[in-house]
Amino acid sequence: MEPAAANGSCCNGAAAASPPASSPPPHVAMLATPGMGHLIPLAELAKRLASRHGVTTTLITFASTASATQRAFLSSLPSTISSLSLPPVDLSDLPRGAAIETLMSEECLRLVPALTSLLLDLKKTTTRLVAFVADLFGADSLDAAAAAGVERRYIFFPTNLHVLTLILSLPELDATVPGEFRDLAEPLRLPGCVGIPGEDILMPLQDKTNPAYRWMVHHGRKYGEAEAILVNSFDAVEPGPAKVLRQPAPGRPVVYPIGPLIQAGKEEDASSPCPCVEWLDRQPEKSVIFVSFGSGGALPAEQMRELALGLELSGQRFLWVVRSPSDEGTVNENYYDAQSKKDPFAYLPEGFIERTKDVGLVVPSWAPQIKVLAHRATGGFLTHCGWNSVLESLVYGVPMVAWPLFAEQRQNAVMLSEGIGAAIRVPESKGREKIAATVRELMEGEGKGAAVRAKVAELQKAAAEGLKEGGAAAAALAEVVEKWTAGEKN
The active-site residue out of 27, 53, 135, 200 is 135
Distance CA 34, CA 336 (A): 7
Determine the residue type at 22. S
The active-site residue out of 27, 38, 53, 162 is 38
Provide the b/e sequence for 239-260 (b: ≥16 CB within 10 Å): ebbbebbbeeeeeebbbbbbbb
Contact 217, 210 (CB under 8 A): no
Helix, strand, or coil here: 130?
A: strand
For the chain, how many residues are written? 490
Helix, strand, or coil here: 322?
A: strand
Contact 396, 355 (CB under 8 A): no
Distance CA 170, CA 164 (A): 10
What are the angstrom distances between the C-alpha of 137 and each of 35, 39, 90, 142, 157?
A: 11, 12, 18, 11, 9
Q: Are strands 27-31 and 254-257 parallel, antiparallel or unpaired?
A: unpaired
Distance CA 443, CA 158 (A): 29
218 is catalytic: no
Q: Omega into 253 within 30° of 0, i.e. cis?
A: no
Distance CA 176, CA 141 (A): 28
**For residue 163, is it left (φ>0), alpha (ψ between -120 and 50) or beta?**
alpha
Distance CA 385, CA 402 (A): 6
Contact 92, 117 (CB under 8 A): no
Distance CA 412, CA 386 (A): 8
What are the angstrom distances between the C-alpha of 196 and each of 169, 185, 186, 284?
A: 14, 11, 9, 38
CB hemisphere CA count around 155 (13 angstroms): 29
135 is catalytic: yes
N- to C-terminal Cα distance for the chain?
A: 26
Side by side, which strands form the sheet with 378-383? 360-364, 317-322, 288-292, 378-383, 400-402, 423-425
Q: Which residues carry out catalysis?
A: 38, 135
